[in-house]
Amino acid sequence: MPTISAPRAVVDGRMTGPVTIAVHDGVIREVRLDDRAGSAPGGADLVLADGVLTAGLVDVQINGAFGVDFSSADEAGWDRVAAALPATGVTSFQPTYITAPLGALISGLDTAIEARRRQADAFGARILGVHLEGPFLSPVRHGVHEQRFLAEPTAEAIDRLLDAPGREILTMVTLAPELPGALEAVRRLTAAGIRVSVGHTDATAAQITAAADAGATLVTHIFNAQRGLAHREPGVPGATMADRRFYCGLIADLHHVAPEICSLVWRGARGRVVLVTDAIAAAGMPPGAYELSGIPVLLSEDGVPRNADGTIAGSALTLDLAVRNMISLGLPEAQVVEAASRVPADALGRTDLGRIAVGARADLVWWSDDFHPRRAWVDGREAGAPTTAADLPAARESLAVSP
């Protein structure tokens, strides 16, 4: 049975080690914590001399990266993102489409299905499902989303989603729960196994609680594009931090949310913070002009993408940087890593991902001691970062024979 050993690892929410992990058929079969792990060069098939071993990161909100916008990407673009993400520690991701005509969003489901099928035997990050951030958003909190495409979550609109040919890949919908018909939409979507996140919303705390009662379990990019926190009206951030039914998505680029408020969210939603990138095509790219679902966006020298009127348009963040940013605030390393791995996986109901545990997928990341990714494995096979699926080698060495 192939094994990998490391001097330190994040296991069960704490930094521990030495550790030896046994992998078979892409699944972790044994996790052994003892003094022998990594102490002898021949003690495992792969011995990591230093650094930290963790589960692979899970990004549940990413619009694109590396010059690629999912809403308009061709096959090579989709494959380039999946192949390159492991270099940032991400081994699973949920591509996100922002507000557009409902028919275009439904067509996008088929595109994602084709990409997932095409990449099945590749060695990049896996597509978990599609997140629709819109079009059922508040007209007063729409942010960069085009107001002309906003819609109410009518029974007919939800029928179209649930009856769509690509429905199998739809895993999350962000909506504003105060809209007419929204609570019934939450009930229907969650009954169909689709996670509902509240976002781009002017809802009161009472309306957020009603959404949770209907089945909503997440908040999209807390503090951004939503009714704010006040001392008599908790708004969206106050309600979702206080209600333990919610996972709180946080863009930790330290621009969307100030460092002090990142720390506040961490403590207010302890154990429920989901680090996300909300990355657009500008992520991993130099300053310049990019697009987000057809909207021109400029990435300036400060690293923040904005549209023509100055509204922040997604981010240029990568998830490994989000981890380093949160650690730099003095937060516990192991728990920060879990906020980008186990917690987002749990938020999607994927208990087979985001953790070093028996029965979990062997998605692993080896980090330097200062948390820069060095190598990554998906299903126990080392991931590379070629630019297109065509560049992927016919076969890669498995964990069993990694040098």
pLDDT, position 330: 98
pLDDT at 279 over 70: yes
Residues 6+ apart with CB under 8 A from 311: 143, 144
Q: What is the mean pLDDT of residues 269-292?
A: 97
Structural domains of the chain, ranges and CATH numbers in brackets: 3-53+361-401 (2.30.40.10), 56-347 (3.20.20.140)
**Terminal-to-terminal C-alpha distance of the chain:** 16
Find residue 367's DSSP bridge partners.
52, 373
Place of tokens 């050993």: 5
Do 97 and 105 touch, CB atoms closer than 8 A?
Answer: yes
288-292 vs 3-6, strand pairing mode: unpaired
- CA–CA separation, 380 and 389 (whole Å): 19
**Cα–Cα distances in Å, from 93 out to 9, 63, 278?**
22, 10, 11
Q: Which of 278, 320, 346, 363 is catalytic?
A: 278
pLDDT, position 43: 76
Is 253 annotated as catalytic? no
- CA–CA separation, 67 and 57 (whole Å): 21
Tell me the pLDDT band of 35, cut-offs 50, 70 and 90. Answer: low
For 362-400, how does the pLDDT look when each residue is reduced to its tens digit (9 = 90+)? 999 999 999 999 999 999 999 974 433 344 333 333 443
Do 46 and 39 touch, CB atoms closer than 8 A?
Answer: no
